[in-house]
């Protein structure tokens, strides 16, 4: 189905010639609508399939934790190769820090207790707590290890894995 879709797109591009008229004929408009709807349906189908394939890759990556590579941001990455040199990478980002901690948040009191006297140095306080730049490093330097770990965990949120691809150069047949 995919090669047929690509051929339809290529044929459509070949058929597109600059038109001098301002309006389409009724037939041209109907053809345009039909093509757009057909392409939209095909893209929706492919998008759903790609979403399922990415979910499969994430599940498979989770079975290979021993093959993870650490990333600069504190996350990890798993890479798999296809048969033609293509690569799929599954990135597991490190948990992101919460952008702010509301005073009504259930973790607020625990955060205050864990940060203790270091609170003002670790958070910008407006009407909520906002972790400072280099928060993790500053917490690790300011607090005992256990309290630092607990405080960081309370101030972050899990991030969803992402999948990206690298496409190998296609080999063209010589004529």
Question: For every residue of 29-48, which 3-state class applies, written as one string?
Answer: HHHHHHHHHHHHHHHHHHHH
Asked if pLDDT for residue 124 goes beyond 50, the answer is yes
Residue 153: inside a domain, yes or no?
yes
Contacts of 132 (CB under 8 A, 6+ apart): 121, 122, 123, 124, 138
d(CA 112, CA 127): 14
In which domain, by residue range, is 75 found?
67-168
**Average of per-residue pLDDT across 89-94:** 94
Residue 48: inside a domain, yes or no?
yes
Q: How many domains does the chain have?
A: 2
Residues 160 and 100 reside in one and the same domain: yes
Residue 174: inside a domain, yes or no?
no
Residues 113 and 48 reside in one and the same domain: no
Residues 45 and 100 reside in one and the same domain: no
Residue 175: inside a domain, yes or no?
no
d(CA 89, CA 130): 32
Residues 147 and 115 reside in one and the same domain: yes
- What pLDDT does 175 receive? 42
Residues 50 and 100 reside in one and the same domain: no
Residues 2 and 88 reside in one and the same domain: no
pLDDT in tens, 10-58: 666 666 655 565 688 999 988 988 898 888 889 989 999 999 999 999 9
Residues 112 and 37 reside in one and the same domain: no
pTM of the complete model beyond 0.95: no
The rounded mean pLDDT for the chain is 86
- What pLDDT does 163 receive? 79
- What pLDDT does 104 receive? 84
- In percent, the amount of the chain with pLDDT more than 70 equals 82
Residues 136 and 56 reside in one and the same domain: no
d(CA 162, CA 76): 11
């Amino acid at each position: 189905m995919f090669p047929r879709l690509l051929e339809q797109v290529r044929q459509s591009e070949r058929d597109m010639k600059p038109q001098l008229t301002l309006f389409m004929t009724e037939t041209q408009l109907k053809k345009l609508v039909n093509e757009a709807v057909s392409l939209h349906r095909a893209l929706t189908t492919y998008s759903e399939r790609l979403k399922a394939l990415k979910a499969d890759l994430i599940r498979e990556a989770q079975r290979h934790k021993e093959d993870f590579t650490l990333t600069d941001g504190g996350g990890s990455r798993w890479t798999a190769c296809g048969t033609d040199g293509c690569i799929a990478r599954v990135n597991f980002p490190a948990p992101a820090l919460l952008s702010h901690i509301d005073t009504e948040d259930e973790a607020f009191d625990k955060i205050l207790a864990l940060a203790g006297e270091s609170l003002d140095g670790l958070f910008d306080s407006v009407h909520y707590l906002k972790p400072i730049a280099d928060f993790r490093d500053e917490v690790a330097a300011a607090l005992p290890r256990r309290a630092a770990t607990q405080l960081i965990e309370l101030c972050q949120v899990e991030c969803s894995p992402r999948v990206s691809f690298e496409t190998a150069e296609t080999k063209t047949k010589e004529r």
